[in-house]
Structure 1
Amino acid sequence: MCFDAKSGVPRRPFLWQDNGMVQPAEFIPSTDDLVNNNRLFAKSFPDSGLPLAPKRHLAIVACMDSRMDIFQMLGLSHGDAHIIRNAGGVVTDDVIRSLVLSQRRLGTQEVILIHHTNCGLHNVDEDSFKHEIEDECGIRPWWALESFRDPYKSVTQNMKRLSMSPFIKHKMHIRGFVYDVTDGLLHEAL
C-alpha cells in the first residue's frame, strides 16, 4: 500500500490506462471465484503427465496485457512453450534470467517477443510517472519503466538486447512481433 509522503495517510491505488491515471471503479476481489474455477478445472485435468521442458523448445516474452491470450492467438497447448510476461514485454534482467534457465536447463532454442498496439507504456513520460509515484508513496522507483513511442522499434531494441547478451545461448531463432489489438494479427518487426 502506498502512503501520502507528507501526511502518512494510506492512499488508494490508481489504475493506469493509456489516457492517464483514473480512479478505479468499484473493486470486488475475485480470488475466491478463481480458486473455485480451479477446483472445476482440476476435476478434468488432462495435462498431469506433461514433461518439465516445453514440447516446442520455445520461449515467448510478451506484454502482460490482458487482451492477449498467448496460447489462443498462437494455437499453443499446455506444455508447448514457456511464457514470460511483464509490462511491455520488455527484455529486463529478470527476463534474461528466466530465458537463461529456459535455454540452459529446459532446452528451449527459439525466442519470440510480442509487443502490441495501444500499450499502456506507449508515450508515457517516464520521469513524470516516477515523480507521481514518488509524490504518492514517498519513494522514487529505481527501476526503468521502459516506455516507448513505436512498438516496432521497441521490439527491435529488445531483440538486440537478447542477441547481445552473453548469457543467452541460442540466438539463431529470435524473432519479434507486434500484435494488433484491433484485428488480432501479428506483424513481424524486422
Structure 2
Amino acid sequence: MSAIDHLLHANEQYAATFPGPRPLRPKLRLAVISCMDSRLDLFGALGLDIGDAHLMRNAGGLPTDDILRSLALSQRALGTREVVLIHHTQCGMQDFDDETFREKLAAESGETPPWDVPGFHDLHATMRASLARVRGCGWIPHRDDVRGFIFDIATARLEEVT
C-alpha cells in the first residue's frame, strides 16, 4: 500500500467518527508559525485541538513573505490576535547552503528559483530575527503578543527566546 493509499484508508476511519465542522475562526485566536519537520506534533506538544489555532508551517519555521501573507489574513479576516513562533533543535535548515541548493536546482531544471531557502547557523539568533520580522510587519495589526520558542526534539520541551 502506498503512503497516499494509507492516508485514504485513515481518512475513511476518521470520517466515520467526524463530529462535524468547527467554526471558521480559531477558538484561541492564535496563530502558530513553525517548521514543517515531521517530528513536530503541534497538537500534542501545545495541547491544541482541531479548530483552536491557525498552524502555518514551512522549512525552518521562518516568517517568509508567504507566511506573513497568511498571518495578515489570519489576523485581519479571521480574528487571530496572538502569534507563537516555534523553531527547533536538529533542524534541517541549520547550516543549510541556500546558494548551492539554488544553483543545483537551476542547473538541473534550467530555471532559477524566484525564492530562496535561507539556512541559519545560530538557532537563537534566528528566532530573535524572526520575532523582529513579525513584530515589525505593518501588515500585521496585532503585534503586541508575539512570542518565540525553541522546541527541543530530544525532550519535547519548549524554551522561550526573548
Question: TM-score range with shorter-chain normalisation?
Answer: over 0.9
Tell me the amino acid that sits aligned with residue 128 of structure 1: T
Structure 2 residue matching 1:62: 3-state secondary structure:
strand
Identity value in percent: 43
Aligned to 1:57: 29
Which of these residues, 105, 130, 145, is aligned with residue 133 of structure 1?
Answer: 105
Unaligned 5+ runs, structure 1 = 1-27
Which of these residues, 71, 78, 82, is aligned with residue 50 of structure 2?
Answer: 78
Alignment partner of 1:38 is 2:11: yes
Does the aligned pair in 1 maintain the 2:102–2:116 contact within 8 Å? no
Shift of 1:66: 0.1
Tell me, in whole angstroms, the C-alpha distance in 2 between the residues paired with 1:117 and 1:62. 12
Which of these residues, 145, 151, 157, is aligned with residue 173 of structure 1?
Answer: 145
Alignment partner of 1:94 is 2:58: no
Tell me, in whole angstroms, the C-alpha distance in 2 between the residues paired with 1:178 and 1:29. 34
Which of these residues, 75, 80, 83, is aligned with residue 111 of structure 1?
Answer: 83
Query: What root-mean-square deviation, in Å, do the aligned CA atoms of Structure 1 and Structure 2 show?
Result: 1.2
- State TM-score, norm by structure 1: 0.82
Q: Quick check: which one's helix share is greater? A: 2
Alignment partner of 1:155 is 2:127: yes
Shift of 1:136: 2.0
Larger radius of gyration: 1
Unaligned 5+ runs, structure 2 = none
- State TM-score, norm by structure 2: 0.95
Shift of 1:49: 4.1
Tell me the amino acid that sits aligned with residue 123 of structure 1: D
Tell me, in whole angstroms, the C-alpha distance in 2 between the residues paired with 1:185 and 1:54. 24
Post-superposition, which runs of at least 4 consecutive aligned residues in structure 1 deviate over 6 A?
none
Aligned to 1:7: none
Paired residues, number: 162
Aligned to 1:12: none
Tell me, in whole angstroms, the C-alpha distance in 2 between the residues paired with 1:134 and 1:98. 28
Aligned to 1:22: none
